[in-house]
Structure 1
Amino acid sequence: MPTASLFRHADFRRLWAGDTASQFATFTGHTVLPLLAATVLFASPAQMGLLAAAEHAAFLLLGLPAGVWVDRMRRRPLMIRAGLVRALLLLSVPLAGWFGVLTLTQLMLVAALVGVSTLFFDIAYQSFLPSLIGRARLLDGNAKLQASQSVAQVGGPGIGGGLAQLAGAANAVLLTGCGYLVSVFALWRIRSVEPRPSRDVDTTLRAEVAEGLRFVFGNPSLRAIVCATATANLSGGAFTALEVLFLTRDLSLPAGEVGLLLALGGIGGVTGALTARAWTARLGQARAIWLVPLCTWPSALLVPLAAPGWRVLLVAAGLAGIAYGGVVYNVAQVTYRQAICPDRLLGRMNASVRFVVWGVLPIGGLAGGWLAEAIGVHGAIWACTAVMALGPFWVICSPLRRVRDLPSDPDAGRP
């Protein structure tokens, strides 16, 4: 077991810096784009659902072949190209706003194409990490990357909401595009030489996709993790599509306070990232995967109890609980997936998982918009949070409940 700190690993620091810049850009954009749609383009609940669906449609439509393509390519150059595409797409939004030609259709198209680039970036970076730092340090590396994501979850909405209120939501998108450019620069400075992936020329795309799916769904523990995460993301996709409408219309909050409230909720994620290693050490990695979400995800039910006045703080409390449990859960389950997967299958494994767990996000967004049209935004928020609270059921009923720690041998993950 290596003892050298990852703080001394120069290329990991560069990957960490690039991912941090990317995460800040992403969470700023997740606040600014819905605010732009809701407050400037006056989107309806159904249109907000379509916007949320557009952001994640690529995971459903391209998720499986993307994993094969990632396994065939060097991952760092792919991440750099994805960052450049995201930056250019998002910079087109303020440009259209300055000329008075910005439409909801353009916003949805940009969101969809940014989602395609994000799909490739996310699969590539999770597949790149084991070769960069080694499998023995994956828990440490994932905890640090998750900490950056959690800080971005706090800072991004606050920055986005504040800029939207001060300079206009279209102008605030500038920061998102610039954040991706900073990410590209940091990734470009990584010096580790990445070997060219080997490939069996006689293997078809369909056969390679099928091999990734068999690896994921043939393993009972992986299958339970996928189902639990998909349940949470399905409800989360519906919730995300409606949260800005709920906060601005039902709770009558201005853009700046929306960003602040979302940032307060994100503090739970930062705390989760800082304590994830302690929890996995105390509970065991396998127990952390099911016990932590069991204790924290039901806090989502605090959100629909909010009302104008001091009770808006229930939103922050509920979001903080979800974020805390989600981060500890993600550190444990992502490390498990990377540790048991052979190198040649990492892209396909990550793509197969994300095909399901991110593919349900556009379905959730559409369902949330439809449900809000049918029963109102507040009723739909109740439904979303109730489903989220049930998410841990899958991992509680899996083999993970009967073991404390997880195997580190990639062959142990073979079905």
Structure 2
Amino acid sequence: MVVLLTGCATVFFDVGSQSVLPHLVGRDGLVRANAAVVSLIAAGNVAGRGAGGGLVQLLTAPVAVACAAAACLASALRLTAVHRTPVPTPALLGKPARLSAQIAEGLRHVFGNRELKALAVTAALSNLGSQIINTMLPVLFVRQLHYPAGVLGLFWAAGGAGLLLGARWARPVATRLGHGRALGIVGLCLAPAGLLVPLVDHGPWLWLAGTGWLPALFKTGMDNVLGVSLRQHMTPDHLLGRMNATFRFLLTGALAIGAAVAGLIGELTTVRTTLWVGGAFLATAFLPAFLSPVRARRSLPQQQRS
């Protein structure tokens, strides 16, 4: 029940935060703002997962969970300082107010646009691969390789460092190559590094797997900045919530499916085989965006208004 409620709250938070951001910073500031947000999240992953592994190893898992709960409470209290931003409502815009109609409108907007559809499929495949890998990593590290929890935390922290670096480099790389071209070229060059993760083992193989995990998540960090900025620019103000809800449904759905697929493949085959499946998804997730008009886009689209 706790996991269910936490997941529901996370979905509402993610949709709301990505929808309100254009109103808070203006569309011209979206790339900078998204880079800052993703950088903070990645920094939290580096510090949090590394510290989490250490806390579990030193003070047991319940203490680590209590620390995470306290951090979430502090975050919620801090959000009360954000001022309210008026958002167009369906009634004011003459749009149908029924929930089913709004869901359908969001789906039509995303899947009726080749670039948005490509971004959605790429992000969903990336989440699927990451979740398959992350589900199996604790089993491999702790049960099979007998590493302490702190080593797993450091491995995850290396991925967080990749996210952080990708977010920080997103703007300069996009300025040099173009926003869509940056997504395509970086994906082509770095996504295949995900195939190194299943090689994790003792000795140098651990370092080799970490070397693959970091650039694979560097690509994810860049996607999280440039992909989100692109889709926000492609969406009128009154559709931001519906567009983000559609993306969030697909992305969280991919996480749920990834965890289930990981368990099923792990049960029928081996942990190592499951990691190879996750690595294959990570290595090829960039293809929908790379093969779409996104790859040719050098600049952000003209601002969409309600």
Q: Normalising by structure 1, what TM-score?
A: 0.70
2:2 alignment counterpart: 110
SS of the residue corresponding to residue 409 of structure 1 reads coil
C-alpha deviation, 1:262, in angstroms = 1.6
Instruction: Let me know the Cα RMSD of the aligned residues.
Output: 1.6
Aligned residue type for 1:145? V
2:150 paired with 1:259: no
Q: Identical aligned pairs, as a percentage? A: 38
Q: Distance in 2 between matches of 1:403 and 1:347?
A: 24
- The match for 1:195 among 69, 86, 90 is 86
- Equivalent position of 1:328 in the other structure: 222
Answer yes or no: is 1:126 the counterpart of 2:34: no
| Partner amino acid, structure 2, of 1:253 | Y
Query: Which of 109, 112, 115 is matched with 1:215 structurally?
Result: 109
Partner of 2:44: 152
Query: Aligned equivalents of 2:293 and 2:194: distance in 1?
Result: 26
Give the Cα–Cα distance (whole angstroms) in 2 for the partners of residues 298 and 202 of structure 1.
44
- Asked if 1:143 is matched to 2:31, the reply is no
Correspondence 1:273-312 to 2 at 5 A: 273-312=167-206
1:356 aligns with 2:243: no
Shift of residue 314, structure 1, vs aligned partner: 2.1
User: What is the CA distance between 1:196 and its match in structure 2?
Assistant: 5.9
- Quick check: 2:88–2:237 contact (8 Å CA) kept in 1? no
- Alignment of 1:392 with 2:283, yes or no, is no
Give secondary structure in 1 for the equivalent of 2:160: helix
Which runs of 5 or more residues in structure 1 are unaligned?
Answer: 1-108
- Native 8 Å contact 2:163 2:217 kept in 1: yes
Write the letter of the residue equivalent to 1:250: Q
Deviation of residue 157 (structure 1)? Answer: 0.8
TM-aligned CA deviation for residue 195 of structure 1: 2.1
Q: Which moved more, 1:314-323 or 1:210-219?
A: 314-323
The whole-number CA distance in structure 2 between the counterparts of 1:136 and 1:265 is 29
In the alignment, the residues of structure 1 paired with residue 112 and residue 159 of structure 2 have an alpha-carbon distance, to the nearest angstrom, of 36
Residues 242-274 of structure 1: CA deviation (Å, up to 9, x unaligned): 111111123221111211222123222221122
The answer to whether residue 100 in structure 2 is matched with residue 235 in structure 1 is no
Letter aligned with residue 384 of structure 1: G
Q: Residue 359 of structure 1 aligns to a residue in which SS?
A: helix
User: C-alpha separation between the residues in 2 aligned to 1:306 and 1:112?
Assistant: 31
Cα distance between partner residues in 2 of 1:345 and 1:169: 42
Q: Hey, which bits of structure 1, 4+ residues long, moved more than 3 A?
A: none
Query: Which amino acid letter does the alignment assign opposite residue 212 of structure 2?
Result: G
Residue in 2 that maps onto 1:182? 74
Q: Quote the offset at 1:197 in angstroms.
A: 4.4
Distance across 2 between alignment mates of 1:402 and 1:310: 39
- CA deviations over 1:30-65 (Å, ceiling 9, x no partner): xxxxxxxxxxxxxxxxxxxxxxxxxxxxxxxxxxxx
State the distance in 1 between where 2:88 and 2:238 align. 8
The gaps in structure 2 that reach 5 residues or longer are none
SS of alignment partner, residue 358 of structure 1: helix
Match of 1:86 in 2: none
The Cα shift of 1:348 comes to 0.5
Give the number of aligned pairs. Answer: 303
Cα distance in 2, alignment partners of residues 140 and 161 from structure 1: 31
In the TM superposition, what are the counterparts of 1:340-351 in structure 2 within 5 Å? 340-351=234-245
Q: Quick one: structure 1 residues 296 and 110, their matched pair in 2 at CA, closer, same or farther if it must change by over 3 Å?
A: same
SS in 1 for 2:147: coil
Distance 1:233 1:262 in 2: 15
Q: Which residue of structure 2 lines up, in the alignment, with residue 11 of structure 1?
A: none
What is the letter of the counterpart of residue 63 of structure 2? N
* Contact 1:252–1:308 (8 Å) recurs in 2: no
